[in-house]
Amino acid sequence: NAGVMQNPRHLVRRRGQEARLRCSPMKGHSHVYWYRQLPEEGLKFMVYLQKENIIDESGMPKERFSAEFPKEGPSILRIQQVVRGDSAAYFCASSPLEGRGYGYTFGSGTRLTVV
Cβ distance 20 to 26 under 8 Å? Answer: no
Q: Please identify, using beta-carbon distances, which residue of 52 and 98 lies nearer to another protein.
A: 98
Q: Is 99 in the site for another protein (CB under 8 A)?
A: yes
Q: Is 58 in the site for another protein (CB under 8 A)?
A: yes
| 3-state DSSP of 67-101 | EECCCCCCEEEEECCCCHHHCEEEEEEEECCCCCC
* Residues facing 114 on adjacent strands: 13
Q: What is the smallest separation between the CB atom of 101 and another protein, expressed in angstroms?
A: 6
Q: What is the smallest separation between the CB atom of 80 and another protein, expressed in angstroms?
A: 23
- If one counts every other C-beta atom within 10 angstroms of the C-beta of residue 106, the result is 16
Q: Is 53 in the site for another protein (CB under 8 A)?
A: no
Q: Which stretch binds another protein (CB under 8 A): 7-15, 22-30, 60-68, 92-100?
A: 92-100
Cβ distance 89 to 37 under 8 Å? Answer: yes
Residues that bind another protein (CB under 8 A): 33, 35, 41-45, 48, 55-56, 58-59, 91, 93, 98-109
